[in-house]
Chain A
Amino acid sequence: MSREIHAKCFPSHCTRGGGRRQKQRCEGEAKSSVSVPRGTCMTMCPAYELRQRELQNRLHRFEVLTGTEHDRLPRADVSCTVKEYSRPAAGKDSTRATDLRPPDILLKTVYYLVDDIAASSTLHPWTEVYSFVFDRLRSVRQDMIIQRISGPECVAVLERTVRFLLFASYRLCGQPLRLFDSCINDTHLQECLSWLLECYREGQHQHQEEFQALSLLYNLGSAQAVQHVLELPGSVRLSPPVRLALAIGRAYVERNPVRLLRLARRLDFLQGCALHRHLLPCRRDLLLLYSHGHSSRNCRFPIQKLADILSLESSLTAQLCRAHGIHVGGEWVIFSKGSFTESLSEELQCAQMHRLLEDKQQDLTVSDIIHGVA
């Protein structure tokens, strides 16, 4: 072999001769660049898995062919069966090309899950819809990881996943733990957000501002999240959604819940979903601050005014005050720093206080929300 060709085939440190260890390193490097799996499965569910689950009666009811539901072994509807998430295990080969879906199929799968399942008006209850979509989206991400997919399809998948999980965190707020686990939802949401923000580091992305803002709102109070945004290029940092999110973050850090809640009224529905879990704690904080700031036996504070600044109905405001030991008398409350109690009342749930967000949702369909309204 001529020296030129030799040099091209093996990186320079290999041609210096000697060192068995170095040669092994070369070969290892060459091998790893070939071994990234490329999927060839053109359906939402690989044929092998579909057959297996059919035979073992492990199809989800959303995947069953109409008319066969009551058979001893229901049949799979190929247009509805979606590859499920499976935990990696020793001895299990998750890299078979026929079991992996390429990027365009993954995106089509996500569209199906959103439009036909999550946004369906006939599938009930939504907790079951959520579990199914959550699991199948997780499987999509798994395929992306194994094939090391990056690029526009990856971004499109992650964006929809984040929107779905954010929407779910609001929609299913208050559901019992066995039907919806907000901690698990949060873990996956954070993972997807991190991955998505990592993707945004290179190239141009149409929805980047939207998601940087969502990340800030969801992670209200996180210095790390803010620092990340401050280091972004000016065009993103100064975009309207990011500026609003930063302003809300500042109001939080300055401990000005009045300002925070006022700015929150300007958020759109999905942004509201992102911020939503912080709203009740903010309202509580306001009551704490006012209990100290307005602490005087002779002073009364009008409930309606309090309701306005809390963005709550006055009946709920009264309830919230009572839950925190604040004396309510007719149309007034009396603040007293001694009587404020931190204790979280069992009766009062965030889910009762969703009016602010309900108003924002209006005519938006689930499909609009997850695909992103222009």
Chain B
Amino acid sequence: PTVVDIVLEAIDTRDGVFCAELLSFKHPHVANPRLQLSSPEDKCQQVLEPPYDEMVAAHLRCTYAVANHDFVEAYKCQTVVVQYPSLGGTFQAHKEENWALPVMFAVTLDLRIFANNAEQQLLKKGKGKVGDMLEKAAEQLMSCFRVCASDNRAGIDDSKKWGMLFLVNQLFKIYFKINKLHLCKPLIRAIDSSNLKDDYSMAQRVTYKYYVGRKAMFDSDFKLAEDYLSFSFQHSHRSCQRNKRLILIYLLPVKMLLGHMPTNQLLRKYDLLQFADVTKAVSEGNLLLLNEALTKHETFFIRCGIFLILEKLKIITYRNLFKKVYHLLKTHQLPLDAFLVALKMMQVEEVDIDEVQCILANLIYMGHIKGYISHQHQKLVVSKQNPFPPLSSVS
């Protein structure tokens, strides 16, 4: 029997998982040259009913394109494959059935991957703009998502709603890649209001919380970011070192902003020693070391998109530095000049007493220092009780 016959059998027996394998590029069948046909339409039409005939034919044309390393063509073929689940059609016609969800997962995943590869290929030739193909892929995925989200008829076990989180995660990956994070919002709302949200597989939930956590970071909602990213980190599978490291890259800056510094042991375990100097600098109030550390690993931090957030640690660093000054002078009426001297020792460029006042005013406003500045006496007067509240207690 040919592969087309085997697909027919999988469809007839509603074996979604097996059917998905036959249409997925993760499965070894795609490397078989005998399957890589440029025009398999006739063969497919003989054996399969519409729309499976078109789907499988497009899939086989795709294997041909991939074998030729033509990812632009592969992407085009894959859009044909995904068309069918996305327009509802046969998938929506499976009323009260969701056996074909694995198929939807497999073909949408490949769509996103090919869109990525195709864009890379075009960019190398100097054509195409980053994000064009991914945006189109996202549109198709959104259609699939709507098919799943609007399934109100089936009972829980047979509902297509089980497909929602997988698709949302795929969409998140695209939106983050093309830097259109605002498009995540309606998806987050849809999942958060779903009664299935805690029942999806842990793997899917970990991925979901990772992206939502990163979005919260972007929105400067650090407490929320900490919650989500921590969940993601803790529930990540033990063997997925790479995933855990990826989550940590974003969790660490958030935790540092909330006053929790990582241990060197943790950093070494996950090969993230780039954060070691940053951590040391912030806890010591060492602005000089902080600037050096940020410059030294600039490329890494910029590539991960956390450089700007790490710069926010400067405020915490100022707070730690000034706290040291307070402890040194042992008085609650501190001359502003002392802070200026401290900043100059840290080789902060062109800072004057006016700026010192501004930095202190900001720290007071944010609740990091309890006190007030007297311009006339050129002093910072701090509260006799707990003038530098612990960082975790300040929002």
Measured CB to CB, the residues of A under 8 A from B are 13, 16-19, 198, 202, 223-224, 226-227, 230-231, 250, 253-259, 262, 286, 288-290, 292-296, 298-302, 305, 309
Contact = CB atoms under 8 A, between A and B. Distances in A.
B38 A292 contact: no
25 contacts: A13-B38, A13-B73, A18-B39, A202-B126, A223-B218, A226-B308, A227-B308, A230-B302, A254-B311, A254-B314, A254-B362, A255-B315, A255-B362, A256-B355, A256-B362, A259-B358, A286-B358, A289-B361, A290-B357, A294-B361, A296-B372, A298-B374, A299-B376, A300-B376, A309-B354
A318 to B, nearest CB: 17
B350 to A, nearest CB: 8
A305 B375 contact: yes
A341 to B, nearest CB: 16
- Main secondary structure, interface of B, reads helix
B41 interface: yes
Contacts, number: 91
A371 B169 CA distance: 48
B355 A18 contact: no
> Which of B129, B358, B372, B375: most chain A CB closer than 10 A?
B358
B126 A302 contact: no
A253 B39 CA distance: 58
A270 B111 CA distance: 46
B306 to A, nearest CB: 10
Contacts of B38: 13, 16, 18-19
Contacts of A256: 355, 358-359, 362
Nearest to B379: A299
A112 to B, nearest CB: 32
B355 A258 contact: yes
B305 interface: yes
A254 B354 CA distance: 15
B135 to A, nearest CB: 15
Interface string B325-342: 000000000000000000
A250 B302 CA distance: 15
Contacts of A227: 302, 305, 307-308
Contact of B311 (A202, A250, A259, A294): A250
B319 to A, nearest CB: 12
B372 A294 contact: yes
A25 to B, nearest CB: 8
Interface of B: 38-39, 41-42, 73, 126, 129, 179, 218, 302, 305, 307-308, 311-312, 314-315, 354-355, 357-365, 372-376, 381
A199 to B, nearest CB: 12
Contact of A293 (B39, B129, B315, B360): B360
Nearest to A263: B350
A98 to B, nearest CB: 30
A333 to B, nearest CB: 10
Contacts of B372: 293-296, 299
A253 B311 contact: yes
Contacts of A299: 372-376
Contact of B307 (A19, A230, A296): A230
A182 to B, nearest CB: 23
Given A224-B179, A293-B361, A298-B374, 12 more contacts: A16-B39, A19-B39, A19-B41, A227-B302, A230-B302, A250-B311, A254-B311, A259-B358, A292-B365, A294-B361, A296-B372, A299-B373
A35 B129 CA distance: 21
Which 6 pairs, one residue from A and one from B, show the smallest C-beta to C-beta distance?
A293-B361, A18-B39, A258-B358, A292-B365, A16-B38, A289-B361
B219 to A, nearest CB: 10
A307 B315 CA distance: 26
